[in-house]
Amino acid sequence: MNNVLPQSSLLLGIIPALLILYIGLKGYEGYYKEKNIFLTFIAGIITGFVAALIEISTLKVGISFIVLFPVLEQLFKTILLNIRKLQEKRETVIYGLSLGLGFGSIFTPFSIMTTNLQIGDSLYLLISIVFGSFGIILFHGATGTLLGYGIYKARMPRYLILTVLLHIPITGLSFLAILYKIEYVQIGFVAYGIILFLYVSKKIMPRILSNRRRGKKRNV
């Protein structure tokens, strides 16, 4: 029997990512170019696709994937953001958000495919995968923003290490879930993603605003 939504399942990741991006950009009008938002989001999808393919083909690396995959994914995002055109530019923080959300959106369809979900399988299983992937989208949006901030402040190595360390709980929890067949691990992904995304959106992104705009955003 064919996999559920083999191609259209991509929308299950892209639509939530776009909604988060739309909400995240509120109050930052004039600090970015819409064309660059589109390009970084698409670049994130493409890069996330490549990263997911590499990870699927190397799943047998064992416990080392807990560190290996975070380094790979965060390095991919850093390479795209750390181009000369974006270095030490405040808008890089916003483009990091867009890139990260695009990157994270690809993991919803890949989670469905790697689970080998079939038509007629439990609807609960599909919902749980999409639910957990929502946390991954938020996580990559947050870490993309942190990488953008590090590049803006010319502190890229420090923030690359930070995002890798923040990523390890995700892969560590995934490893434990696979090893011990832990259920409801998706709740942990979502909680972690929400906490990290809220911190970044409230504490990191407003730093690029002018003092006047920053005050208005806090009063919203």
- Percent of residues, the chain, with pLDDT higher than 70: 82
Beta bridge pairs of residue 118: 3
Give the dihedral sign, CA 131/132/137/143. Answer: positive
116-125, 132-141, 153-162 — which is least confidently predicted? 116-125
pTM of full prediction above 0.95: no
Can you tell me the mean pLDDT for 91-116?
86
Helix, strand, coil percent content, the chain, rounded in steps of 5: 80, 0, 20
pLDDT digits 0-9 by tens, 41-79 = 999 999 999 998 888 877 677 788 889 999 999 999 999
Question: Quick one: pLDDT at residue 185?
Answer: 82
Residue 205 has pLDDT above 70, yes or no: yes
pLDDT digits 0-9 by tens, 24-40 = 999 999 999 999 999 99
Domain boundaries of the chain, sorted by first residue: 8-207
